[in-house]
Amino acid sequence: ILGFSTPPGRLSMMAFILNALTCALGLLYFIRRGKQCLDFTVTVHFFHLLGCWIYNSRFPSTLTWWLVHIVCTALMAAIGEYLCMRIELREIPLASAPKSNV
């Protein structure tokens, strides 16, 4: 089904790319650690590989399937890590609490 030559194939690839982008936002909200983004990304895609293998009763062997998933893994990890690092590198406000007169 995945392929550049047919409209359903292009639509499926775009769905995978959009899924990687939304999962990168999920990494930002649930993981919040730049160091762990790659681990969770690879784990999610590994479980997807196992699910596809079980569902189809055969190991995925098409080149386009592997290319799409490698690109999606790289996108999800890179964008998720970038977003998490932006949160981690924010300044910590030191003077936000009112001072007490003790």
- Predicted local confidence at residue 19, as pLDDT: 93
Is residue 23's pLDDT more than 90? Answer: yes
Q: What is the pLDDT of residues 45-98, one digit of tens each?
A: 999 999 999 999 999 998 988 999 999 999 999 999 999 999 888 877 777 666
SS3 content of the chain, % helix, strand, coil (to 5): 75, 0, 25
- Model pTM greater than 0.75? yes
Backbone angles phi and psi of 76, in degrees to 5? -60, -45
Q: What is the pLDDT of residues 1-11, one digit of tens each?
A: 677 788 888 89
Q: Angle of helix 7-26 relative to helix 63-88, nearest 10 degrees?
A: 30
**Contact between residue 12 and residue 1 where contact means Cβ atoms under 8 Å apart:** yes
H/E element holding 12? helix 7-26
Closest CA to 88 of 36, 46, 20, 41: 36
Contact 62, 2 (CB under 8 A): yes
